[in-house]
Each structure stands twice: as C-alpha cells, then as structure tokens.
Amino acid sequence: MRDELYQQTILEHNRSPRNFKKLEGATHAAEGYNPLCGDHLWIYIKVNPQNMIEEVSFEGSGCAISKASASMMTTALKDKTIEETNLLFDEFHKLVIGQLKPDQQSNHLGKLTVFSGIWQYPSRVKCAVLPWHTMHGALEKVKTISTE
Amino acid sequence: MSAFDVHRYRVDFPNLNISVHGKPLVYLDNAATTLKPRCVIDAINAYYVTGVANVHRGVHYLSEQATAAFEYSRQVVRQFLHARRVQEIIFTKGCTESLNLVAQAYGRQFLKSGDEIIISHMEHHSNIVPWQMLCQQVGCVLKVIPINDQGEIIIEEYLKLLSDKTKLVSLVWVSNSLGTVNPVKTMVEAAHKKGAVVVIDAAQAVTHTPINVQDLDCDFLVFSGHKIFGPTGVGVLYGKEKWLEAMPPYQGGGDMIKTVTFAQTTYNTLPYKFEAGTPPIAEVIGLRSALEYLQTISWEGMRQHKQELLNYGTKILLSIDGVRIIGTAKDKTSIVSFVVEGIHPHDLGTLVDREGVAVRTGHHCTQPVMQRFGVPATARVSLAFYNTKEEINILSQAVKKTQVVFQR
Ligand SMILES: Cc1ncc(COP(=O)(O)O)c(C=O)c1O
C-alpha cells in the first residue's frame, strides 16, 4: 500500500498521543472543530511571564492525522517563544500546502516534516492544520476555531 | 448467482474503465452520485453539438426542436413517477431546490404560527434546514420522529406526534446514511387522516423501487437527476396539481410569467410558473435519457442483484474483526454504513482510496444520525446495479490492509 501519509511516526503518535490531557493552570485555551470529519479538539497552553510556552496539551477525538498532528505540535512548541511559535505555525502551514519543500528550503520544522506528503491529499490538509489553527486561535484569544 | 447479467450493463458506463492511483476504480459511492451511462453523455453532447437553443423562446427551428425535446422529457418523467398530469412535473436544479421550493412556496402560503411540521431523525440536511428556515419565518414548530437502534422510524412515536396541529410531514423514503427503507405509504395515510400534506424525499428511493405517486398518494415528491444515472444540475419536484395551483411562484423571472407590466404581472400556468429563467436544458434531456435507459433493465433483476450484493457485502464486512455496521433495519436498500474499531473513517477512506476503492466517509449530510449512534462519522458503501461481488472483495481486502497499516 502506498501510504506516504501514514508514516510510522504518525501512526505511533496516533496510538499514544503525547500531552493528551487537560492542562491545569492553562493561560490560553481554544476549541477546534472540523465539521467535515467530525474532528473535535481542545488545545490548552501555559505561557509564562517571559512570553515562553511552558506547556501545551490537547484533548478530543479525531482522525489519525489530526491526532498525530496535535500530539507532535504539543512537543514541538514546548519552551518556544511566541515569536518562534508563530514562525513554526507559518512554516507548518506552508509545508502542508506544498509551498515549503523541507529538503530544499531551510526551516525549523524538525520531525514535523513527516507531514510533507500531505499536500497530495487535499481533503486531509485540514485535518493536519486543525490543531495548529486552534493553538493559534488560543494565543489570539479566539474561543472556537472551525476549519472547513 | 442470479440471472442478472451485470457485465452486460457495466460496458455502458465509461467511468468503470478508469484507474485510480494505478488501480482499477471500484466505485462504491453511488448514494453520493451515480455513474452515467454513455447514452446520457451522448444525449447531452448531441444537444450541444447539433441542437443548442433556448426553450420556449424562439420561433426558429432549433429553438422549437429544443422545446420539443425538453417537453418530451417532462412526459418521460411523468411516466416514470406515474403522475396523473404532466403539469405536475417541475424541473428544478435538484432535490435540495425542490425541497426549498415546497418549504417556501407551499409553507409560507399555508403554514402559520403554532402549526407543526414533522420530519424524521434520519433526514438529510436538505430535508431539515429548509423547514427550520420556514419555522423561523412563520413561527411554526418542527417535530422529529425518533429512530430505534436498528435505524428504523418508531412508528408508534410518529402516530403520537401526529395531531390536528400537524400541517406538513416531510420524510425520506430511503435513508442515504443508514439504508433504511421507510414504510412511507402507511405514513402518508396516517398523515392524511390528520389533514396534513406529505412531502417525500425520494433521492435514494428512485433507484431502489418503481414509484407510483398516485398509489403512494403523497402530495409532493422530490429527487435529483444525478443520483439516478443522469447529470448533475437537474432535479424534479412532483406536486399534486391542486397544491401547485394554489401556491405562489418560488422565483420570479422569464418563462414563469404570461404578461408583465410595471403595474401588474400575471403568472404563467403550470408547470412554467415554477420554472423561472432558462432551465438546465441539456441536463433535462440527459435525465430523460437516463430514465429511458433504466426502462431497458428489469426492476426485478436489479432488485435481486442489489439484494444479493447487500447480503454479501454485509456478511463480508462483518467477517472482518472490529467492524460494526450502523443501520441494520429489516427493510434496507443496498447501503452499508460501518465503522472499524480504532480507525477513524477518514483514515480508512484515504487508505482504501489508494487501492482504487471509492467509499464515502463522513456524516453523509445527516449529522443527527451520527449523533444518534454516537459516532463522528462512518464509512459508507452504496451499491448500484452495476457493482459486483468481486468489487466487494476488493473493498474487504483494502479494509484489511488498512488495519495492517494501523497495527504497524
Ligand atoms: C436522502 C437524500 N436527500 C436529499 C439529498 C440532496 O440531494 P441534492 O444534493 O442532489 O440536492 C440527498 C443527497 O445526498 C440524499 O441522499
């Protein structure tokens, strides 16, 4: 089976998602919903006074892509500044729509490049970006994010 | 094996020869839209290549030809539905528009504050939202018939909901997400006893069973061309003449008028009163070709073949570990909605697609059904008369491969 999308890392994060819990003392939170798939998640973020992300967690249910994306995002954002987070958000977004080729362009995505093949599955791009949009919304104090 | 020679018909559908991701297409998404036989494609082509003209407008040869072809199509639809008069057949752009037309033109004229509309829990969004909009406009109230764990309408609850306040009942005949075939004839009778009119959403029924609107005695019936081997962009509203006569137009424009002055406009007679603007001429002609094509195939042959496919598909899917079927009504059409433990339907849909298998995944425009069964979405196999057991085997292999990927 040609499954460039369903790589080991993604399947593994789907099976045992990291930081899959509600975060006590979160400074920011938002709900994300994709009516097409029924993907539904909550992102919690704790930002410290130095404007650093101390912790990110998520809860909810969804497809393997959205779950793995959320899980990997929570580990990627730990100890990042808000500026670094915004940069990653921007790079991830370009990655999943095929505008950033990680092997040709310098970037800060690290393990997140496992999503580099997803632009070939247009109907699934939304699954991968839902956690990121929700995180971004949380930082911008938007309560509910919907991607369609 | 039944005597139904499926391969004799498969050659009529050019789409069945295409490949997807290097694999032969296995098309199991017929409830979303059906494939088109070559005769339909040719009929549309012929209109554009040799006969393109507007209808009801010109005196020139081509316009008269187009008008004749268009109006003959209406005859064919009348016969297909066994309607009493050809004036009762209105062309729309689809099931959705037909339902909105009834909600707005009939609903706003005849329903008032406090009146009740009954629908079922298994309606397609297109048979929910137009009524909600009407309720907001005139203050009527929407009541919903519950369904049981098999996905069947609970008839006793329906009878309890019916009252003198009930003015309209709108029901799906065959559910697109559960496959349930509802006992619409007895439901129509019960509604009429209370003086309510009945709208039947026949979107999925048109390929399941022959339809006789006079025998069914429904007041309105709607369907879409693209779900019955015809083109997109065309649908039908059947309505009893007495209601269509009493209803105001739905949209204003050309063709739906007799005379226009700035002081006063008089509306055209049926069916034109409800067909404002240039209609989808090529699509209407294509729909006629689809209905004529269907007439060449025995209903009984198709029914038996699809029943065998349904039984086989159900058995094969249930033999796979972790598969659960949503919608197990006694009376079902060839639609199987299912979920696989540990695999989200969208992941399943993406992975079986890599094997060339097209199934629908999602809520199928029936979110209340998903809520009722506590699932975010399902994968849905919907079988047409041109599908085969071999195709079901390919699906089953693809589902098993997906499970292997997820167990890695
Ligand atoms: C039962 C049912 N009703 C209504 C519709 C709406 O049809 P259309 O989108 O062609 O207007 C569908 C199509 O999915 C359907 O399955």
Residue A1 has pLDDT above 50, yes or no: no
Ligand 1 neighbour B234 (Cβ under 6 A): no
Q: What value does the mean pLDDT of chain B take?
A: 96
**Whole-angstrom distance, CA of residue B351 vs CA of residue B46:** 39
Q: Which residues of B touch A (CB under 8 A)?
A: 21, 343-347, 350-351, 354-355, 362-363, 367, 370, 376-377, 401-402, 405-406, 408
pLDDT bracket for residue B3 (50, 70, 90): confident
Q: Which of A1, A3, A7 is nearest to A112 (CA)?
A: A7
Q: At what angle do helices B299-318 and B389-407 cross, to 10 degrees?
A: 20
Per residue in B121-167, pLDDT (tens digit) is 999 999 999 999 999 999 999 999 999 999 999 999 999 999 999 99
Q: Does domain A2-146 have CATH number 3.10.150.10?
A: no
Going by DSSP bridges, is the β-strand pair B26-27/B23-24 parallel, antiparallel, or unpaired?
unpaired
- The model carries a pTM of 0.94
Residues B100/B130, Cβ–Cβ less than 8 Å: yes
Altogether, the residues listed in chain B come to a count of 408
pLDDT bracket for residue A141 (50, 70, 90): confident
**Whole-angstrom distance, CA of residue B360 vs CA of residue B395:** 12
Q: Which residues of B touch A40 (CB under 8 A)?
A: 376
**Mean pLDDT within A107-119:** 94
Domains B6-30+298-407 and B41-294 share a fold: no
**Whole-angstrom distance, CA of residue A72 vs CA of residue A125:** 16
Identify the architecture of domain B41-294 in CATH: 3-Layer(aba) Sandwich (3.40)
**Ligand 1 center to B234 CA (angstroms):** 12
Amino acid identity of residue B11, one-letter, is V
**Whole-angstrom distance, CA of residue B99 vs CA of residue B380:** 24
**Mean pLDDT within B381-403:** 98
Residue A3 has pLDDT above 60, yes or no: no
* Interfacial A residues in 22-41 facing B (CB < 8 Å): 35-40
Per residue in B58-86, pLDDT (tens digit) is 778 788 888 999 999 999 999 999 999 99
**Mean pLDDT within A46-59:** 95
Best probe residue, ligand 1, of B34, B176, B206, B223 (max atoms within 8 Å of C-beta): B176
Percent of chain B whose pLDDT exceeds 90: 90
Nearest-atom number in ligand 1 for the CA of B97 is 11
The DSSP secondary structure of B180-248, one letter per residue, reads: BBP-HHHHHHHHHHTT-EEEEE-TTGGGTS---HHHHT-SEEEEEGGGGTS-TT-EEEEE-HHHHHHSP
**Mean pLDDT within A74-103:** 95
Domain ranges in chain A are: 2-146
Percent of chain A whose pLDDT exceeds 90: 82
Residues B111/B287, Cβ–Cβ less than 8 Å: no
Domain ranges in chain B are: 6-30+298-407, 41-294
Per residue in B251-296, pLDDT (tens digit) is 999 888 888 888 888 999 999 999 999 999 999 999 999 999 999 9
Question: How near does any CA of chain A get to the CA of B301, in Å?
Answer: 36
Question: How near does any CA of chain B get to the CA of A8, in Å?
Answer: 7
Ligand 1 neighbour B46 (Cβ under 6 A): no
**SS3 readout for A96-116:** HCCCCCCCCCCCCCHHHHHHH
pLDDT bracket for residue A143 (50, 70, 90): low
For residue B99, what is the enclosing H or E element? Answer: helix B95-101
pLDDT for res A2 = 39
- Which of B346, B355, B367 has the CB atom closest to A63's CB atom? B346
Domain B6-30+298-407 fold is: Aspartate Aminotransferase, domain 1 (3.90.1150)
**Mean pLDDT within B170-186:** 98
Q: Which residues of A touch B408 (CB under 8 A)?
A: 8, 11
Q: Which residues of B touch A37 (CB under 8 A)?
A: 344-346, 362, 376-377
**Whole-angstrom distance, CA of residue A45 vs CA of residue B234:** 50
**Mean pLDDT within B85-99:** 98
